[in-house]
Amino acid sequence: MKQKLIFVFLLLQVLCTLGCGFHLRHSQAELSKKYPTIVLVPSGSNTLHQGLSRALIASSVQVSENTENISSPRLAVVSQNLTTQPLVYGPDSELRRERLKMSVVFSFGDKEIQQFELETERDRQLNPNQHLGDNAEKVVIEREMQADIISQLLRYLATKQY
């Protein structure tokens, strides 16, 4: 009976581990083998550009801003859009909850440049008594959303065939 219980517990643990997405991290390690150098074209958003550069370097990809390097694929941020959608209004007709949606269009390729869009969204609770805190919280949430999109981008590049 004890062996069956241990087996069931072990099986449950294995199933939980396989479903958590941890196995997707391996593909980011293969990114540097697939693309040893990527030309990162400067974009309008400095925080997104710096985050992309740091993430690519952390994945052992050599990042170049020299656009003359024709043999390496180019990565550019075409557009970045942040929209807010009101979700809940309070009894005093003030906004209590909103949804932030961020979408970023990237272009990637060396000879055939393809565009693709990555999106993420977050819900946030608003406090009508703390307007300064809400603005600071919105900035933090935007940075978290950018980090999420960068993570999506690395997984996308590691699995996409060009």
**Can you give the CATH number for the domain in which 76 is found?**
3.30.160.150
pLDDT digit string (tens) for 57-96?
Answer: 888 888 888 767 668 888 999 999 999 999 888 888 888 8
Band (pLDDT 50/70/90 cuts) for residue 133 is low
Domain carrying residue 147: 26-159
In the chain, the number of structural domains is: 1
Residue 14 belongs to a domain: no
Q: Span 101-107, mean pLDDT?
A: 94
Residue 114 belongs to a domain: yes
Pick from 102, 68, 66, 96: which is nearest to 84 by CA?
A: 102
Q: Which pLDDT score is estimated for 122?
A: 93
The radius of gyration computed from the CA coordinates of the chain, to the nearest angstrom, equals 21
Measured torsion, CA atoms of residues 32, 35, 41, 44, in degrees rounded to the nearest 10: -50
Pick from 159, 150, 152, 161: which is nearest to 57 by CA?
A: 150
Whole-number Å distance between alpha carbons of 154 and 147: 11
